[in-house]
Amino acid sequence: METCVKTYLAPVKSIEKKWYIVDAKDKVLGRVASEIASRLRGKHKPTFSTFIDNGDFVIVTNADKVRLTGNKWSDKKYYRHTGYMGGLKEATAKELVVKHPTDLVMLAVKGMLPKNRLGRAQLKKLKVYAGDEHPHAAQQPIVLDIQSEK
């Protein structure tokens, strides 16, 4: 008779959620977004499970100063729909960062999370700010240094 090894599942209430802060100034958008998505999902923890939200909170500052490589400022398009017939709107990355400076980071991370209710819950743990200031000093966030090649 075989012995069955049980997989450890951390109880949801005992999961410790930390706060991290990322300075996105002069960092490549995709590299920053992939590391943030990994932290939001909790893939850096030994208790990672695909169906449990055991990730951490992430604060992103200077989201308006993020870098894009190549010609992406003018070539990359972002689409949205108004809900009306013929209401498809398109904006380049340069137009989007002028109108909504935090949306570049938010949309990049959103695309790297699961497309279900768990992914939506994980996205709520992402706080993005255009400047240096953020209202989360009371959480004592840990500085997360993401290396970006120059």
pLDDT at residue 55 greater than cutoff 90: yes
Instruction: Kindly tell me if the per-residue pLDDT of 48 is higher than 80.
Output: yes
- Give the per-residue pLDDT at 5: 79
Average pLDDT in the chain: 93
All structural domains of the chain with their residue ranges:
17-68+101-143
Checking if the pLDDT of 118 tops 60, the result is yes
Say whether pLDDT at 150 is over 80: no
Render the burial of 36-58: b for 16+ CB within 10 Å, e for the rest.
bbebbbbeebeeeeeebbbbbbb
CATH 1.20.140.10 fits domain 17-68+101-143: no
pLDDT at position 126 over 90: yes
**For a pLDDT cut of 90, what percent of the chain falls above it?**
84
Strands (E), 24-113: 57-61, 77-81, 88-92
The pLDDT assigned to 4 comes to 81
Q: In what order do the strands lie in the sheet with 57-61?
A: 126-128, 57-61, 19-23, 142-143
Mean pLDDT of 96-125: 97
pLDDT of residue 32: 96
Work out the end-to-end distance of the chain between its first and last CA atoms, rounded to an integer number of angstroms.
Answer: 58
Asked if pLDDT for residue 1 goes beyond 70, the answer is: no
